[in-house]
Amino acid sequence: MNLTLIAIITLGSIGLFISILLYITSQKFKVLEDPRLDDVEAALPGANCGGCGFAGCRNFAEACVKTTNFETLLCPVGGSDTMSKVASILGKEAIKTEPKIAVLRCNGSCADRPRTSIYDGAASCTIANATFGGDTGCSYGCLGLADCVKACIFGALKMNEKTGLPEVDEAKCTSCGACVKTCPKNLFELRDKGPESKRIFVNCMNRDKGALAQKACAVACIGCGKCKKVCGYNAIHLAGNLAYIDFKACQLCRQCVEVCPTKAITEHSFPPLESKDTKWVPQQIKTK
């Protein structure tokens, strides 16, 4: 028999055998995809931002199809409306959630937090935090090198040249959490937007004792506890010389804003309070 013909028959037989083997293997180990998966993915925004905790919208859609309830699943970009659509496709009930927004918990502008040194390294908050710590007396405050701005794929953050701090554009913020994950100082927090965008929060993360905190930044929280004392809803807690307002318990009464001696508490979308003489005198601070 011709050697060429033998080679052809041999190779053909091997190819046929491998094809049959691959077919049997694929049938045995094939994974049937839920036909609703494509519909769920189509209902999602398609941002692939990772704010839901999954690698992308496809992975999140798979989790939605497999789950029995939506208690731990939320698309922050689409919010409750998107989750309602997903639930409708799957014949399940979505859990209504309040819309959230990213807030920067640092109000130490250039005027309130003077420089004590000059940073001349890489323009990265992560690198500066690891090698330097900051060019002001507050080691807890914003480094101002815009890592958060670069991380936001929705263009919801920009640096304010006057204050040296990033600003959140409420109309563009999707509460994806990219800024929260990126900031090495952990200054960003996702909070409820609040009714008519009204919200109150302590705009500081300085945990130093009163005198040290106020020396480093004029608008720092000094942990005096006045806000906690006037809050009738048990919404304010003190820990590590720093006050924190629980947005779930806060009733937006604004009493804490009035009594804060350093103006460390920010109120958003409220009309101005009546003028009161609450000027803070640093010399009055006493430490043990």
Q: How is the chain split into domains, by residue range?
A: 37-90, 100-193, 196-288
- pLDDT value for 128: 93
At 72 the pLDDT is 87
CATH 3.30.70.20 fits 196-288, yes or no: yes
Q: Can 100-193 and 196-288 be said to share one CATH topology?
A: yes
Torsion of CA 192, 196, 202, 204, to 10 degrees: 90
Give CA–CA dist 133/116, Å, rounded: 12
pLDDT of residue 2: 77
- At 156 the pLDDT is 97
Cα separation of 271 and 288, whole Å? 38
Residue type for 72, please? T
User: For position 275, what pLDDT does the model report?
Assistant: 55
What's the CATH architecture for 100-193?
A: 2-Layer Sandwich (3.30)
Q: Where are the alpha helices (DSSP H) in the chain?
A: 3-29, 37-43, 57-66, 79-90, 125-131, 147-151, 178-182, 210-216, 226-230, 255-259
Q: For residue 232, what pLDDT is reported? A: 95
Model pLDDT, residue 284: 37
> By C-alpha distance, which of 254, 217, 216, 219 is closest to 233?
254
Global pTM reads 0.78
Q: What angle do CA 141, 184, 168 make, to 5 degrees?
A: 70
pLDDT in 10s for each residue of the chain, 288 residues: 577 888 888 888 898 989 998 888 887 777 667 889 999 999 999 989 988 989 899 999 999 999 988 888 999 999 889 999 999 999 988 888 889 999 999 999 999 998 898 888 899 999 999 988 788 999 999 999 999 999 999 999 999 999 999 999 999 999 999 999 999 999 999 999 999 999 999 999 999 999 999 999 999 999 999 999 999 999 999 999 999 999 999 999 999 999 999 999 999 999 886 655 444 444 333 333
